Amino acid sequence: MKGQGIGFGKAILFNEHFVVYGIPSIVSAIGKYTVAKVEPYDEKELKLEDLREATPNYKEGKLGQQKDSLKRILKKMNIDVSKNGLKITLDGNLYCASGIGASAASCVAIARALSDYFNLNLSDDEINDIAYEGEMGYHGTPSGVDNTASTYGGLIWFQKGDTNVIERIPISNPIEIVIGNTGKVADTAAAVAGVRGRKEKNPEKYQEVFDRAENITYLAKQALQEGDYREVGKLMNENHKLLQQIEVSSKELDFLVSIARDQGALGAKLTGGGLGGNMIALTPGRDLQEEVATAIEKEGFQTVKTVVGASRGGIE
């Protein structure tokens, strides 16, 4: 008897960090995903086998958080492994690095695989709730944006609140992007705490930045719906500037962003928690995508060539 489930990776196009404070963000599933498989295990415990490819030290650095996350998922699902042992295997084509929702993808995949194994027939909404609980093990108080994109796929407008606002943004076709990996494993919880501390010290300066970030998302939503990718790119560039102002970028991220823009990317910015991890470049069309990826790789950095707006029918 086996259970299986998938969870998408994600790229935040607009407003990572700002989203924690109730400002809307735009996030997309990407066409890469994590697969979880669940099967019986002889010992009365949980055994995890993690076969995912990853940035050096990513999996080792996150091991404590991963154990906490698994405990939370099992508790939320009322599964007791001390009675019946389970083995969970993680695999798939999503390369684990900071900023592309690797932890959320694994939480969603595990929740789906457990639902399949125990014939629970959980809905996407229920899977999303369980994955959010799992994300707490990694991020403390996550916004919920990563697990939402990972669960539902597609391009999503997400606003955190007493009841989260989750709306699909319809676009005609998935759009090619390049994700560039700095190779630095980022601590999202520390980045979020840093923003909170600086915001409390400089409330006026930060309010100005946050207001502009909010305005940008509404403009970006309209541009995406109209297929105006040049405008989307300009707004991504501006969003990166705001993220620099709240001190969550890094010299490596800024370097990769400038390479992508120099090669003709319509826009480029950090994606995810910042302080390392990944950046994202908007590169509609395979040729532009290839040029930007090649330029980043020539500098010795890894890239992922994929699409945003991928739905479950559009996995690679």
Q: Give the model confidence (pLDDT) of 10-68 as tens digits.
A: 999 999 999 999 999 999 999 899 999 999 999 999 999 999 999 888 899 899 999 99
Q: Which residue has the higher pLDDT, 99 or 293?
A: 293
Tell me the per-residue pLDDT of 118-150, one tens digit each, with 9 for 90 and over.
999 999 999 999 999 999 999 887 888 889 999
What average pLDDT does the segment 163-181 reach? 91
Q: What is the pLDDT of residue 139?
A: 83
Residue 173, pLDDT above cutoff 90: no
What span, in angstroms and rounded, lies between the C-alpha atoms of 98 and 186?
6
Q: In terms of domains, do 131 and 60 share one?
A: yes
Single out the residue of 270, 29, 9, 14 nearest to residue 168, CA to CA. Answer: 29
8-state DSSP, 184: P
pLDDT for the residue 185: 85
**Does residue 179 surpass a pLDDT of 80?**
yes
Provide the 3-class DSSP secondary structure of residue 84. Answer: coil
> Is the per-residue pLDDT at 277 higher than 70?
yes
User: Is residue 18 located within the same domain as residue 153?
Assistant: yes
Beta bridge partners of 256: none
From the number of C-beta atoms within 10 Å of its C-beta (0-12, 13-18, 19+), residue 91 rates as middle
DSSP percent split of the chain into helix, strand, coil, nearest 5: 45, 25, 30
- Residue 146 known to be catalytic: yes
Q: Tell me the C-alpha distance between 105 and 147, whole Å.
A: 7
- Asked if pLDDT for residue 312 goes beyond 60, the answer is no
Q: Are 67 and 190 part of one and the same domain?
A: no
Number of Cβ within 10 Å of residue 61's Cβ equals 16
Which one-letter DSSP state was computed for residue 306? E
Q: How many helices (H) and strands (E) does the chain have?
A: 10, 10
The parent domain of residue 17 ranges over: 3-168
pLDDT tens readout for residues 232-250:
999 999 999 999 999 999 9
Q: Are residues 155 and 13 in the same domain?
A: yes
Among 42, 50, 91, 146, the one annotated catalytic: 146
- Closest among 243, 111, 233 to 186, alpha carbons compared: 243
Separation CA 231–CA 262 (nearest Å): 17
Tokens read off for 219: 């403009």
Instruction: Tell the residue number behind the tokens 């086998």, with chain if given.
Output: 49
Verify that 138 and 208 share a domain, yes or no.
no
pLDDT at 311: 67
102 and 126: one domain?
yes
Reduced to 3 states, what is the DSSP secondary structure of residue 45?
coil
Q: How many CB atoms neighbour CB 28 within 10 A?
A: 29
Strands (E), the chain: 3-14, 25-40, 46-50, 86-92, 155-159, 165-168, 175-181, 267-271, 278-282, 302-308
If DSSP codes are grouped into helix, strand and coil, which group holds residue 87? strand
CA–CA distance, 94 with 89 (Å, rounded to integer): 14
- pLDDT reported for residue 188: 81
Same domain, 92 and 198: no
Residues 136 and 187 in one domain: no
- Kindly report which listed range (29-38, 65-74, 178-187, 222-231) carries the lowest average pLDDT score: 178-187
Please, what is the average pLDDT of the chain? 93
**Total number of domains constituting the chain:** 2
What is the predicted pLDDT for the residue at 314?
Answer: 40
State the pLDDT at residue 56: 86
Whether residues 156 and 180 fall in one domain: no
Asked if 159 and 20 sit in the same domain, the reply is: yes
Question: What distance lies between CA 90 and its chain's CA centroid?
Answer: 17
**Whether residue 87 sits in one domain with residue 7:** yes
Rg (CA), the chain: 19
